[in-house]
Amino acid sequence: MTETQSSISAWGEETFGPVASPSVLVERARVEFDELAEAVGQMDNAAVGHEIADILILLYRVATLHGCDVDEMVQAKMRINRGREWVRAGDGTGRHVKR
């Protein structure tokens, strides 16, 4: 079976019950981000992958609760990003120039 945002969100609700508030999922994602940072610091590639997956699972659930399709939103946001002017920070990140 190939998982989708819909199947993952349904699994989350079946497994953990209804979400009291999307903010609960966001707070849980913050915990997972800390675990991701630890895995990155330890250069543990398998753990990095698992923590990224945990974060995405939580974000899929948040998106579903807000009626957003993550894949569609990423495509739309990338169209915006590709049309922006960017300033590099010199560390692999940057910011867009506000007009």
pLDDT per residue as tens digits for the range 11-62: 999 999 999 999 999 999 999 999 999 999 999 999 999 999 999 999 999 9
- The secondary structure of residue 8, as a DSSP letter, is H
Structural domain including 36 reads: 5-96
CA terminus-to-terminus distance, the chain: 45
Average pLDDT over residues 94-99: 93
Kindly report the CATH number assigned to the domain that includes residue 51: 1.10.287.1080
**Does residue 99 register a pLDDT over 90?**
no
- Structural domains in the chain (count): 1
Average pLDDT over residues 80-90: 97
